[in-house]
Structure 1
Amino acid sequence: MADLDDFTAWFEQNNGFIDKEYMGFTVFSPEEGGRGAVALKDIPEGHTLFTIPRTLTLSTRTSELPHAFGLEAWKSANLHQGWAGLILCMMWEEAKGQASKWGPYLASLPSRFDTPVFWSDEDLTLLEGTTVVGKLGREDAERTYNEIIVPALQSHPELFSAEAAEKYYTLTQYHLMGSRILSRSFDVERWEGEGDDEENEAANTSRDMDVDEPEPQGEAAPASAEDAVEEEEEEDPSDVAMVPVADLLNARFECENAKLFYEEKVLKMISTKPIKAGEQIWNTYGDLPNSELLRRYGHVDLLPLPNGKKGNPGDVVELPANIVAAVVTEKLGTSQATAEERIDWWLEEGGDDVYVLDNDLEIPPTLASFAKLIGLSPEDWKKAKGKGKPPKAIMDQSMVEILREVLRRRLQQYPTSEVEDEKALEGELPLNARHATVVRLGEKRILSGILSNLKDVTKRKRDEEERSGQKGKKSRK
């Protein structure tokens, strides 16, 4: 790991600290995350594994590019919104090579990702039925590149030479830097008093974090969680930062044993539980489902499950409301116009248009309530609308049958069956195909598990009706 040796030497020369007595770096198996950090000896809880000066994090606040570009011009070019500015900073710093403060760090970052944004169209068809492809944002990224990055490059030829543009400022490099941010960045909020007034105004200052010694209080979160639309709207883009060394730690579902914490001038990675010598040091990605792990990081988790199989306990499957509405209108004869009116009201009242099902194998009450709403009689619909309250989620026989059909249709959106996926994983598959199959299988298990539970509900109700009927016959004798 020669590049890593150069990187750690650079890190320590710039006032970074790594406790090499307790922690080292190694290459684990692909199932264990590949390159990561290992405990060299037993590590107690609360031990500082490494320290990163805030000045060594790479963001739009620490790179010189926004100042060289001109802060007002930076804002006018819309480089202060989203990740475009940070991506351009990373491109610029990499183009400078060893002249950049972060040269050795950028050289140590991966130049290849297994995330679906880099998959071929043929491989992307393997994800049919999942929501991964729809969340890649490839078209939006290319639009941002063409509408924001390219004009910025053209406006400052003294900063971005035509020669460098052919190598360092291409659309391919834009996707690469975006993937580095998505998979490895953290939210590093501004500390009180950090930066001058001009910077504060340009960067849209965020709230402060507080730390009391000796116990760290301000926890730095991986910034990858920010790419959900709602969180993007709330987040200060200048908080998103690349954090050397911290981004070397892998993560796995509920295995976290270290966290990154804020202090005034440094960030510290601190063990949150005892770690045995030889064990991997894990950070956290937030216990994400395999669909998100694949989309953001290019890997999936396969852990032992209570049923004896392997998968990700955090898996979820998304169920669009339009499938529910379609089934209800067909089953109950509700007109399309009536359904659309009720859907609009539901959304205006803050209802969901996508329902998330998880491994508890339960129907969310809001899902049953929505289905009930679409099928209300005109009189009951008028009452519900007048009260401003959706109907209660009562799981009667009619509702059970509707939801079973909804789940069956959702399962039909996948190109393969659950049995076919399980059989495929027993053999050899190309990496992308294996990852896609694991994602599909985890989602199908949730859908089929809920279907099975609903079948049990139907059976219990029928058994109760039969027993009730038999009692009625006996009482008449």
Structure 2
Amino acid sequence: MATEAKRTKVDDDSPLQDFIQWCNQVGLALSNKVYVSKEGTVAEYGMLAKDNIEEGEVLFTIPRSALLHQGTTKVSTLLEKEKSSLESSSGWVPLLLALLYEHTSSQSYWKPYLSLWTDFKKLDHPMFWSKEERDRLLRGTGIPEAVDTDLANIYREYTDVVLPFMTRHPDLWNPDTHTLELYTQLVAFVMAYSFQEPQVEDVDDEEDEEEEKPPNPPMMVPMADMLNHESNHNANLEFTPDSLKMVCIRPIRKGEEVFNTYGQMANWQLLHMYGFTEPHPQNINETADIPIATLYEVATRGIQSDLDQQLVEEKWEMLSQMTQEKGAFVFGKQGCLTDTELHTFLKVLCMSEDEFSELKENEGWEEDDEEEEISQTFSNEGLPGLKASWKRLIHEAARHTVRSYRVGGEGEGECADSDRALIEDKAALAGLSSRQHNALQVRHGQKNILYRLMELTKS
């Protein structure tokens, strides 16, 4: 009976009902076993089961004609004609121009869909927080740096690409209406709600495996974007030539929410791109980064002689040339996810002078260790058995990284204990704002991994 009560509330939601009617008109087929609601869901709109659903059942089917992207918008011909002038590092400009046009057009084919997001005020990505708030709540997580990069790219893209294009077509776009602020909101909208179709493997491409295809551009998928995310999801979006289908991948009981997945994402990625987090310890994909620069700092700490300093710098220069450019070593709940890179760095940094000289003479080495063996070595089970010199570097790098989370004048231990205490105190958690809560989930999840790593590598 509770389900029926929720259904009544849905009927009072005019924008949602307009959207459902639009879905029927455009051929979007919704199973009678599910419904969309704001009640009983983890966030905003979501999908709930009206009846028990078995694995393999199709929850809804979306014809490709109902997808919103640069190829289906009313201005598609113009966007295609001038696509060479719309190239950018993100590759999103054509879709964003389409959204700028369709979102502000009263005659838009997608108006009932886009009306669900009247002003985008409910998007709460860190890019909409103040810089002071990001730096204070998210210090050490990597998010402030990522947001600064995003905002700089958005401004440059809008100023250098979008604005000149709109100026050339004043009959379709108006800078007074299609502002940088709206453009930034639409970037967040695409980040949070768009989908990318997986690349189809072509048999002919096997001969040229080194040349990677660029990813397909994002597109808006009505109804599919109503589903909330959970790492332990129960539905999955499948792509076919004619349509997209949301398919149940494990049984869903009546009254349960239907969850899609946005991919294997740690909480910092979820907050950065979608504006939310999964509560601890629910996110099985949680990760923590140790910057490569931190490992260098640890390796050079305590060096007494100029010769030893020179040796480390020579090793580091060789490592920079031998390995692909990466910003950090990534650790998950079960161990290191960038184990091959970490193995290479530790092996070289801990070489004796003679071993390093031999390495230089041979211009590298033939790797004796198999990938599977390396993976096991840097798993939680294998880390305690590492060489003492390797463990020391990992331990000190993890400890140094934890310090970067300090807030205000807190000490290392105090900062960690305050987050742990908050997570365990339901009353205190309830008093936090949504931003404070999400930031806490990110910090706590990352530090948990780092403290576990320190425990596994202590002498």
In structure 2, the partner of 1:142 is: 155
Q: How does 1:280-291 map to 2 (within 5 A)?
A: 280-291=257-268
In structure 1, the partner of 2:77 is: 67
In structure 2, the partner of 1:133 is: 144
In structure 1, the partner of 2:9 is: none
Structure 2: distance between partners of 1:148 and 1:91: 14
Deviations, residues 257-305 of structure 1 (Å, cap 9, x unaligned) = 21222222221112122211101111111231111111111111115xx
Does the residue aligned with 1:317 lie in a helix, a strand or coil? Answer: strand
Tell me the C-alpha RMSD between the 2 structures.
2.7
One-letter code aligned to 1:346: L
In structure 2, the partner of 1:263 is: 240
Change (3 A) 1:80 1:442: closer
In structure 2, the partner of 1:58 is: 68
Does the residue aligned with 1:89 lie in a helix, a strand or coil? Answer: helix
Q: 2:328 aligns with which of 336, 354, 358?
A: 354
C-alpha displacement of 1:446: 0.8
Structure 1: distance between partners of 2:131 and 2:214: 33
Does the residue aligned with 1:291 lie in a helix, a strand or coil? Answer: helix
Structure 1: distance between partners of 2:451 and 2:390: 17
Deviations, residues 444-472 of structure 1 (Å, cap 9, x unaligned) = 111111111222xx2xxxxxxxxxxxxxx
Structure 1: distance between partners of 2:132 and 2:327: 29
C-alpha displacement of 1:66: 3.4
Q: 2:351 aligns with which of 376, 387, 396?
A: 376
The answer as to whether partners of 1:369 and 1:390 remain within 8 angstroms in 2 is no
Structure 2: distance between partners of 1:42 and 1:423: 39
In structure 1, the partner of 2:215 is: 235
Does the residue aligned with 2:101 lie in a helix, a strand or coil? Answer: helix
C-alpha displacement of 1:346: 1.9
The answer as to whether partners of 2:303 and 2:309 remain within 8 angstroms in 1 is no
Is it true that 1:345 corresponds to 2:318 in the alignment? yes
How many residues align? The count is 403
Structure 1, 423-432 or 365-374: larger mean CA deviation: 365-374
Change (3 A) 1:208 1:325: closer
Does the residue aligned with 1:166 lie in a helix, a strand or coil? Answer: coil
Unmatched 5+ stretches in structure 1: 190-205, 211-230, 304-309, 459-477
The answer as to whether partners of 1:319 and 1:410 remain within 8 angstroms in 2 is yes
Is it true that 1:45 corresponds to 2:63 in the alignment? no
Deviations, residues 87-121 of structure 1 (Å, cap 9, x unaligned) = 11100111212x11111111113612111011112
Deviations, residues 331-356 of structure 1 (Å, cap 9, x unaligned) = 45575554444333223323544100
The answer as to whether partners of 2:311 and 2:353 remain within 8 angstroms in 1 is no
Q: 2:30 aligns with which of 18, 33, 37?
A: 18
C-alpha displacement of 1:375: 4.1
Q: 1:9 aligns with which of 8, 17, 21?
A: 21
Tell me the percent identity: 27
C-alpha displacement of 1:441: 0.8
In structure 1, the partner of 2:193 is: 184
Is it true that 1:152 corresponds to 2:165 in the alignment? yes
One-letter code aligned to 1:343: W
Q: 2:117 aligns with which of 85, 109, 112?
A: 109
Is it true that 1:409 corresponds to 2:400 in the alignment? yes
Q: 1:248 aligns with which of 199, 219, 226?
A: 226
Structure 2: distance between partners of 1:108 and 1:184: 12
The answer as to whether partners of 1:328 and 1:371 remain within 8 angstroms in 2 is no
Structure 1: distance between partners of 2:341 and 2:332: 14
Change (3 A) 1:353 1:120: closer
Change (3 A) 1:366 1:28: farther
Does the residue aligned with 1:58 lie in a helix, a strand or coil? Answer: coil
One-letter code aligned to 2:440: T
The answer as to whether partners of 1:418 and 1:444 remain within 8 angstroms in 2 is yes
One-letter code aligned to 2:172: L
C-alpha displacement of 1:401: 2.5
Is it true that 1:367 corresponds to 2:342 in the alignment? yes
Does the residue aligned with 1:261 lie in a helix, a strand or coil? Answer: strand
> Larger radius of gyration, structure 1 or 2?
1
Change (3 A) 1:276 1:119: same
Structure 2: distance between partners of 1:400 and 1:347: 21
The answer as to whether partners of 1:313 and 1:359 remain within 8 angstroms in 2 is yes
In structure 2, the partner of 1:424 is: 422
One-letter code aligned to 1:40: K
Change (3 A) 1:325 1:295: same
Structure 1: distance between partners of 2:58 and 2:401: 47
One-letter code aligned to 1:403: I
TM-score, reference length from structure 1: 0.78
TM-score, reference length from structure 2: 0.81
C-alpha displacement of 1:177: 0.9
One-letter code aligned to 1:327: V
One-letter code aligned to 1:360: Q
Is it true that 1:92 corresponds to 2:115 in the alignment? no
Unmatched 5+ stretches in structure 2: 1-12, 204-210, 370-376, 378-384, 408-414
